[in-house]
Structure 1
Amino acid sequence: MNPKQLEQISNYVYCDSFLNSLDIETKLLPNPYHDYPFLVIKNFFSKDICDEIVNSKIKDNDAIDAKVKSENYENHIDKNIRKTKIYKLDKKYRTLYNKMFKLYQSKIEQYFNIALTTSTKIQVLEYKKDSFYVAHSDDSNMIMDNDKLIGFKCVVPNRKLTSVLFATSYDNNSSFNTFSGGELVFNYLYDKDGNQINFKPEAGDMVLFLSNPYFTHEVLKVKEGYRLSIVQWHDALVV
């Protein structure tokens, strides 16, 4: 796979042409005339609300180890693939989240040319120092042959769109409610200079992207600090 063999998919983003050689069951891309193939909503939550959520999670003891998806929803824990904890979002913040998402729903649907239908339960994902999540597609498993990627198999077809809301900020200095490392990296997406697209958020940012293999992504290992994100997957009809 040669990352220099790129094909333009939006004004400022290119994908690895390797993907187009694969038979991807859930191939879907946004309007190619958008600047980016993903949507970033700034200040979905205020920084004050984000701080409240972080403080409430630090006090909680209800975390469980995050699992890795597999066929037939027989998910399992594998800390070589994914090392993070899952919390529930308090009702107060779930209510606010749902209210805000409803306000943005029309914009989201227009951006991706879809009609949202149902959504999963909201998850709060905690990444402390040395936590990570290796490259994966949210709707598919990778098919490997002698450590070489040869395709994808869709195992969660009701995931059409992924939303990730960050409650803490990326900051190399790792000050209060920040983290270093832990970037959200899109493994097959590049800028015009061939640099891999990665996302270094501020608290309150929400990034939305299609859940299919074109948007395969990983969370790099957290070096220092506390990375907390609020994640949800959405089913949709393609319009």
Structure 2
Amino acid sequence: MIQISENIFLDKHIFELDIPTAFLPSPYKPLPFLVIKNFLKPHELPLFVDDIYHDDDAETAKVKSEVILGVVEAKVVKKYRDTKIYAISEYLNELYHTRFQEYQSQIEEYFNIAITLSTEIQALEYKKGGFYVQHADDSNAIIDENKNIIAYHPVAPERKMTTVLFATSYSDNPDNKHSFKGGELIFNFLKNKDGKTIEFKADAGDIIIFPSNPYFSHEVKEVEAGYRLTLVQWHNAILN
């Protein structure tokens, strides 16, 4: 394992790959990602859940796949991903952006970056059985005949940073609307000092920010019960 922050290590195999979009934050930080607690306040969270929970105007989330001439085509592949995408209302979109601007300087300072452009917010809904297999947000993995990752090919290199805001909470005893069981966010190549893979069990209102490159490949474990709702964005940035 390769130490990449005070408390986190990276799989040596992945670190040694030639990854065109590779970027790591300062190794002197406690973690190579940033978690901001209560990014959304308790009284604001139900607004987002209620906006999506009974909304049938959803798009089944797709998986990027590269096709001829370098064009990237998105396809629905249920064996890789089972979730739905919603757009949030104009009011909630403004609320989110206002809050993000309040924290933007903190995020930029932590990663030593300058955010330039951001995507539209995607509200990702995972109900019971929902999941998303291991993936990098900016690249596709290249696999050999033994199913080992031997390289990554960028398909969305403009994605430098990923933000995931949890509108519902992880709970061992979830209800049907405001919490969920299972659905852990797993960072496949990040380990603690004991070699255990890093997993994130969020409270509603938490936002986690991390680089979009393959070092931070991640997955969403299958939701066992309840309702997992996250707001996701990708950000282009100048890396200092």
1:149 aligns with 2:149: yes
Identity of aligned residues (%): 51
Shift of 1:209: 0.1
**Alignment-derived partner of residue 27 in structure 2:** 32
Q: Following the alignment from structure 1 to structure 2, what is the Cα–Cα distance between the partners of residues 109 and 159? A: 15
Shift of 1:60: 1.0
Map 1:218-229 to 2 at 5 A: 218-229=219-230
Shift of 1:211: 0.1
Structure 2: 5+ residue stretches without partners: none
Q: Following the alignment from structure 1 to structure 2, what is the Cα–Cα distance between the partners of residues 13 and 97? A: 30
* Cα-Cα RMSD: 0.9
CA contact (8 A) 2:83 2:125 kept: yes
Q: Following the alignment from structure 1 to structure 2, what is the Cα–Cα distance between the partners of residues 56 and 120? A: 20
CA contact (8 A) 2:51 2:88 kept: no
1:42 aligns with 2:41: no
**Alignment-derived partner of residue 3 in structure 1:** none
> Which aligned runs of 4 or more in structure 1 are off by greater than 2 angstroms?
70-73
- SS of the equivalent of 1:69 reads strand
- TM-score under structure 1 normalisation? 0.96
Shift of 1:73: 3.0
**Alignment-derived partner of residue 217 in structure 1:** 218
Shift of 1:151: 1.1
Shift of 1:193: 0.7
**Alignment-derived partner of residue 114 in structure 2:** 115
| Between 84-93 and 54-63, the greater mean CA deviation after superposition | 54-63
Shift of 1:20: 2.1
Shift of 1:23: 0.4
- SS of the equivalent of 1:70 reads strand
Structure 1: 5+ residue stretches without partners: 1-5
1:95 aligns with 2:90: no
**Alignment-derived partner of residue 164 in structure 2:** 164
CA contact (8 A) 2:40 2:205 kept: yes
CA contact (8 A) 2:159 2:235 kept: yes
Q: Following the alignment from structure 1 to structure 2, what is the Cα–Cα distance between the partners of residues 86 and 21? A: 35
- SS of the equivalent of 2:32 reads coil
- SS of the equivalent of 2:52 reads helix
In the alignment, residue 231 of structure 1 is paired with which amino acid? V
| Between 140-149 and 219-228, the greater mean CA deviation after superposition | 140-149
1:207 aligns with 2:208: yes
Q: Following the alignment from structure 2 to structure 1, what is the Cα–Cα distance between the partners of residues 15 and 41? A: 39
| Between 58-67 and 208-217, the greater mean CA deviation after superposition | 58-67
Deviations 1:27-69 (A, max 9, x none): 1000101000000011111122111211221121111100111
